[in-house]
Amino acid sequence: MEKSYDIIVVGGGHAGCEAAMAAAKMGSSVLLISMDMATFAKMSCNPAVGGIAKGQIVREVDALGGMMGQITDAVTLQFRTLNRSKGPAMWSPRAQCDKRQFSAVWRKVLENAPRLHIYADSATSFLFENQKIAGVRTLTGAIFHSQAVILTAGTFLGGKLFIGQTSFEGGRIGEKSSYGLSDQLAEFGIPTARMKTGTPPRIDISSVHLDRLIRQEGDENPARFSFLPIPSSIQAGNPQMPCYILHTNEQVHDALRAGFSESPLFTGMIHGIGPRYCPSIEDKLRTFADKDSHQLFLEPEGRDTKEYYLQGFSSSLPLRVQMEALRRIEGMEDVEIYKPAYAVEYDFFDPTYLRNTLESRVVENLFLAGQVNGTTGYEEAAAQGIMAGINAHLKIHEKEPFVLRRDEAYIGVLIDDLITKGVDEPYRMFTSRAEYRILLRQDNADLRLTPLSHAIGLCDEDRYALTMRKYEDVDALLSFAENTNVRAEKINPYLESVGEAPVKDSKKIADLVSRPDVQLQEVLKSVPRGTFSPEVVESVEIAIKYKGYIDREKQLAEKILRLENLTIPADFDFDKVSGLSIECRQKLKRYHPSNIAQASRISGVSPSDISVLLVYFGR
């Protein structure tokens, strides 16, 4: 079989699904090649979406027109907003999902998408024409031609699984690895290395003594991820499912340490770099040797299954060691498991060999997204996927690339970090990585990104109109708050109830809400007004309370933007700039930043080097 498409996406994980949908929505004919149509966007590890910084990314993917937020809302088992006790820049939505339904809904979406075709197979080699991608060949012998290819193979490139001293091929347990693609790209000079990740055992919840565990409920008034109207599955009012908190103890630790001599992490069987911020349980015991307990979470994998995920207990120890340790945890004395914990080691490519569009700087029209770039997490993968899909479409249609700045989106921070700094461990997004996190809140992602998406043809007219109406309401309510007085006798009882000093005269609503413990929703009860959605009220309250911080970050972003606007030609010869340090020149020639601001973020490029570049470019 031999066919042609505009774009081929290799891999049906979170990155591949978003990439395929974005390119197809924008008008390209797309082929999505995935080994198993039952595992689209499979939650290989934690059956949850969002969390610290990750929740902001999901909101951004949704605001651009991606599907992760909508599908999460359709299959949510429990929703919680994390960090509510902190400022709004730290608020992070997180949803526990029905794992099987998540993949099933994705499959339905993909199968019904116009211009998108699916082929169940494994890509074994790329087709090239003069160092330019031209398509792929598959295991079954099919040949597919295309103008661009997006590689999103996740952990399947050279994937190898480890349970104790037992190792076998696979990208996930029970699923085969993919070979050949890494070797081809290495021949073109793209550095390849190995990374490692892991997953915990899956627990039969009926074998656990839940009365001995701490029950954790979802939010009383759960929110959602998508800025679009709530899907019918949510409106049906499915009850939220609880999670459970439990802890290890010294007896558990003793059982685990007894198996260290058989751990592939410690015997040298695993060579890949593991995630420092999400270590295996054996890593924790070595790194935090003084701790006598570690917190774990039991989280549901579906509404109609007894299978639960034991977060915090990923491991590559032998099965018998895992069972011995698990049964020493309070409440788990009689535990049975569906699947053991295991580690997986896989190939990834140096992301500094990518452009800011996620196109390879070595092979034209080849885009890479997801774990093949050294990242970890569904959310980071989805973000790269949608950006690769957008830019692949724009590239083959000879349109300007779509690049998000660091002050525009967490997605911009993610991609800029990858291409300028590279990775020495699996990359995960944190709020601390973003300089402008008060600007990049989860509540305003649609305001930041939906107009940009509409301008490139991804976001449709209805979605754009919905966003514009929402922010007309925000502007109207903000103006109302800044210009409307509340009489003292109306508001003082509320102020005193929250420990705030009463007022003697009428005060503007905005002045009252600027106080830390005063909520806009409560103040509005004291004055006649129109009806506004909770999302609009929240956005206006944040704008009032954090106005000073927001204004300062905007000013800082404007200063940095001047450096972003100082572009560096793609073929610029850094050797002709005298005054640059040797290390700086080496790094600039390797990473080839597209502007001065990007150059300033490369390790080894000093402020004095940036000054030399500014002088050279006439600033």
Tens digit of each residue's pLDDT (9 = 90 or more) over 230-269: 655 444 457 899 999 999 999 999 999 999 998 887 888 8
CB-based contact 209:334 (threshold 8 Å)? yes
The structure's pTM equals 0.90
CB proximity list for 308: less than 8 A, separation 6 or greater: 202, 203, 204, 205, 208, 298, 299, 300, 301
Q: Tell me: the pLDDT tens digits for 442-478? A: 999 999 999 999 999 999 999 999 999 999 999 999 9
Pairing state between β 30-34 and 116-120: parallel
| C-alpha angle 220-309-289 in degrees, rounded to nearest 5 | 105
Q: For residue 240, give the DSSP letter.
A: P
> What pLDDT is attached to residue 231?
56
Residue 358: name the closest of 419, 316, 407, 399 by CA: 419
The DSSP 8-state label assigned to residue 431 in this structure reads: G
E-state strands within 350-426: 366-368
Q: Where residue 298 falls among pLDDT bands split at 50, 70, 90? A: very high
Lowest-confidence region among 48-62, 426-440, 449-463: 426-440
CATH of 202-343 given 2.120.10.30, 2.40.160.210, 3.40.1390.10, 2.40.30.260: 2.40.30.260
Partnered with residue 366 across adjacent β-strands are 149
Domain 461-550 fold is: Arc Repressor Mutant, subunit A (1.10.10)
Q: Is the pLDDT of residue 485 over 50?
A: yes
CATH fold of 565-616 reads: DNA polymerase; domain 1 (1.10.150)
Average pLDDT of the chain to the nearest whole number: 91
Domain ranges (residues) in the chain: 202-343, 461-550, 565-616
Residue 144 or residue 531, greater confidence: 144
Dihedral class, residue 546 (left if φ above 0, else alpha if ψ from -120 to 50, else beta): alpha
pLDDT over 90 at 12, yes or no: yes
Distance between alpha carbon 342 and the CA centroid of its chain, in Å? 23
The mean pLDDT of 213-220, rounded to a whole number, is 94
Parallel, antiparallel or unpaired: strands 48-50 and 92-97: antiparallel
**DSSP conformation class of 369:** -
- Three state DSSP letters for 64-103: HCCCHHHHHHHCEEEEEEECCCCCHHHCEEEEEECHHHHH
SS (H, E, C) 578-592: CCCCHHHHHHHHHHC
Residues 87 and 567: their CA atoms lie apart, in Å, by 35
- Is the pLDDT at 124 greater than 70? The verdict is yes
The angle at the Cα of 279, spanning 274 to 281, to the nearest 5 degrees, equals: 130
One-letter amino acid at 463 equals R
pLDDT for 611 equals: 85
**47 and 441 Cβ atoms separated by less than 8 Å:** no
pLDDT at 234: 42
Q: Which percentage of the chain shows pLDDT scores above 70?
A: 98
